[in-house]
């Protein structure tokens, strides 16, 4: 007879589910700034999960990781993105600023990402990697979140959404890392944050350069560069 899930398992599963819903929310948002807000909330949940694990497993290093993650993902990255976005950039329609943001229609995009999420969820769930230290449900949801983030990057044809998709993909990886290997030394955990910092710099330069050259964040015109 299966016992009632503990605080850590229940919190990990609940946080993972909410993060996946926020990922779908990013896909549906019309304004890039709203996508940034959802990313900040999603990142805050990562910090909350790190605190829960630190308290449950007596891992004080995770408190430092939670603080670093919150400072970078909840404060710094959204602030940088908001400063880089030229006004209220619309990313789900075809206004003068960003033409042809969707590769698929909104309905088709949602169906495609649901299929990707289901594939990631059941593929990882079939591996039976769960255990007392690694809730199988949270791990499977983290995999689904990674696939949906990939879908966001592919379906949207504007630099802002692609950047946010990449950053939220990193959140999915961080979720899986916390679920599977929360006891890793702090130096390895912070390596993910350093990679995110590099990605923010690269995407920031790309957004600024692309908007300055084309007066748009749409990547549709870049297909002309194919040889």
Predicted pLDDT of residue 2: 47
Predicted pLDDT of residue 215: 53
Looking at residue 1, the DSSP 8-state letter turns out to be -
Predicted pLDDT of residue 17: 93
pLDDT at 126 over 90: no
pLDDT at 130 over 60: no
* Inter-residue long-range contacts of 209-217, CB under 8 Å, 24+ positions, other chains counted: 210/159, 211/86, 211/159, 215/97, 216/97, 216/98, 216/99, 217/32, 217/85, 217/86, 217/89, 217/91, 217/97, 217/98, 217/158, 217/159, 217/160
Which of the four pLDDT bands, split at 50, 70 and 90, describes residue 99? very low
| % of the chain residues with pLDDT over 70 | 73
Strands (DSSP E) along 56-128, which ranges? Answer: none
pLDDT at 152 over 90: no
Is 213 contained in some domain? no
What value does the mean pLDDT take over residues 151-178? 86
Is 218 contained in some domain? no
What value does the mean pLDDT take over residues 107-117? 85
Predicted pLDDT of residue 111: 87
Domain ranges, residue 147: 7-101+108-181
Is 205 contained in some domain? no
Query: Based on the structure, what is the number of domains in the chain?
Result: 1
Is 214 contained in some domain? no
Predicted pLDDT of residue 136: 81
Predicted pLDDT of residue 124: 84
Please say whether the beta carbons of 117 and 129 come within 8 A: no
Which of the four pLDDT bands, split at 50, 70 and 90, describes residue 43? very high
Predicted pLDDT of residue 148: 93
Q: Of 38-52, 53-67, 78-92, 188-202, where does mean pLDDT reach its minimum?
A: 78-92
- 183 vs 59: CA distance, rounded Å: 7
Is 36 contained in some domain? yes
pLDDT digits over 102-111, tens only? 566 767 878 8
Is 96 contained in some domain? yes
- 50 vs 126: CA distance, rounded Å: 26
pLDDT digits over 25-36, tens only? 988 887 778 899
Mean pLDDT, rounded, of the chain:
78
CB atoms within 10 A of CB 226: 5
What value does the mean pLDDT take over residues 136-156? 89
Is 189 contained in some domain? no
Predicted pLDDT of residue 146: 92
Is 200 contained in some domain? no
pLDDT at 9 over 60: yes
């Amino acid at each position: 007879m299966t016992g009632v899930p503990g605080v850590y398992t229940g919190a990990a599963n609940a946080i993972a589910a909410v993060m996946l819903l926020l990922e779908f929310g990013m896909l549906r948002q019309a304004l890039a700034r709203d996508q940034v807000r959802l990313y900040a909330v999603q990142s805050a949940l990562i910090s909350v999960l790190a605190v829960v694990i630190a308290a449950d497993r007596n891992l004080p290093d995770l408190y430092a990781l939670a603080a670093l993650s919150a400072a970078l993902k909840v404060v710094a990255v959204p602030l940088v993105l908001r400063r880089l976005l030229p006004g209220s950039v619309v990313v789900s329609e075809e206004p003068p600023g960003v033409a042809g943001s969707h590769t698929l229609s909104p309905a088709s995009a949602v169906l495609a990402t649901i299929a990707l999420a289901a594939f990631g969820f059941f593929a990882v769930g079939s591996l039976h990697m769960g255990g007392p230290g690694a809730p199988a449900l949270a791990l499977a949801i983290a995999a689904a979140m990674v696939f949906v983030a990939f879908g966001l990057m592919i379906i949207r044809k504007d630099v802002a959404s692609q950047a946010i998709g990449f950053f939220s993909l990193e959140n999915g990886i961080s979720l899986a890392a916390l679920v599977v290997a929360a006891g890793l030394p702090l130096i390895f955990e912070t390596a993910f944050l350093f990679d995110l910092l590099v990605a923010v710099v690269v995407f920031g330069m790309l957004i600024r350069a692309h908007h300055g050259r084309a007066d748009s964040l749409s990547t549709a015109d870049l297909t002309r560069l194919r040889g």
